């Protein structure tokens, strides 16, 4: 039995699980948790190898999904950002009775670019992997800068994210490397038709990691899903456009 992940629960109401992205930790959600906890019982987690779960070391994709399922409420809405979107989607596929609603934010079922599919070029992921070995703090900072690119308040956004994320222990380098492998290798596209719960997909139109074309291509994979595009946002709309983001989230969860 592995040690439990660092897990926080705040607020009253229906259960909502928030899953952070690569290089981050649960503190990234703090600004919006303060607004959500009046209506929801909000659960945030530090994935294995990140933040206060750094000592647990690296876990592969299936292990990460199972670790979160092991501590999540019996039934909850799951919201995953970026890499967290892959984890939330896989949880919804393997344990559909546990996921009442699925929300993905700035996420893709296949992050890696390939013929006819937009995404992160393999060379960029390889570069991140190499840079990680040299200076992982700098690499994570660069990744944060990428995430805020195009946002009208980019500098302020990056400052806010850094302050939150760096308030917790640094991620485990092996977990960061595994995360990049997941982003390079996992492809859930052919399984999406099996999703039985309501699905909402949120995107930033200016996102450099999940190009807006993915948002439109996904209409074919999950035709009955709700698509929300934040016109001025990049890869972290819940930070750069938190009020709009919370309005859209309420609207979907209340359906």
Active site residues: 82, 207, 235
Phi, psi of 82 (to 5 degrees): 55, -120
* Dist CA 255 CA 245 (whole Å): 16
Cα–Cα distance measured from residue 103 to residue 87, given in angstroms and rounded to the nearest whole number: 11
Nearest to 251 by CA among 103, 33, 151: 103
Residues 6+ apart with CB under 8 A from 217: 117, 118
Q: Angle 84-85-87 (CA atoms, 0-180°, nearest 5)?
A: 65
Q: How far is CA 120 from CA 2, 91, 254, in A?
A: 32, 23, 33
Angle at 249 between CA 47 and CA 103, to 5 degrees: 45
Q: Which token pair is 75? A: 């039934």
């Amino acid at each position: 039995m592995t040690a439990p992940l660092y897990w926080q629960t705040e607020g009253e109401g229906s259960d909502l699980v928030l899953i952070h992205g690569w290089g981050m930790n649960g503190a990234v959600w703090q600004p919006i948790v303060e607004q959500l906890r009046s209506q929801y019982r909000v659960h945030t987690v530090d994935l294995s190898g990140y933040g206060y779960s750094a000592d647990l070391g690296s876990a592969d994709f299936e292990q990460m999904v199972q670790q979160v399922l092991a501590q999540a409420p019996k039934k909850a809405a799951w919201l995953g950002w970026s890499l967290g979107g892959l984890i939330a989607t896989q949880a919804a596929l393997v344990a559909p009775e546990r996921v009442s609603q699925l929300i993905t934010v700035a996420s893709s079922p296949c992050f890696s670019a390939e013929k006819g599919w937009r995404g992160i070029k393999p060379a960029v992921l390889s570069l991140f992997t190499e840079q990680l070995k040299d200076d992982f703090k700098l690499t994570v900072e660069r990744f944060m800068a990428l995430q805020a690119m195009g946002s009208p308040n980019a500098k302020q956004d990056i400052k806010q994210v850094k302050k939150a994320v760096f308030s917790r222990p640094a991620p485990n380098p092996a977990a960061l490397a595994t995360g990049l492998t997941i982003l390079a290798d996992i492809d859930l596209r052919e399984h999406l038709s099996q999703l039985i719960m309501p699905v909402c997909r949120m995107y930033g139109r200016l996102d450099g990691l999940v190009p807006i074309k993915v948002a439109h291509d996904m209409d074919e994979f999950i035709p009955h899903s709700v698509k929300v595009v934040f016109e001025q946002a990049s890869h972290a709309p819940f930070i750069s456009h938190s009020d709009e983001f919370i309005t859209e989230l309420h609207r979907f969860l209340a359906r």
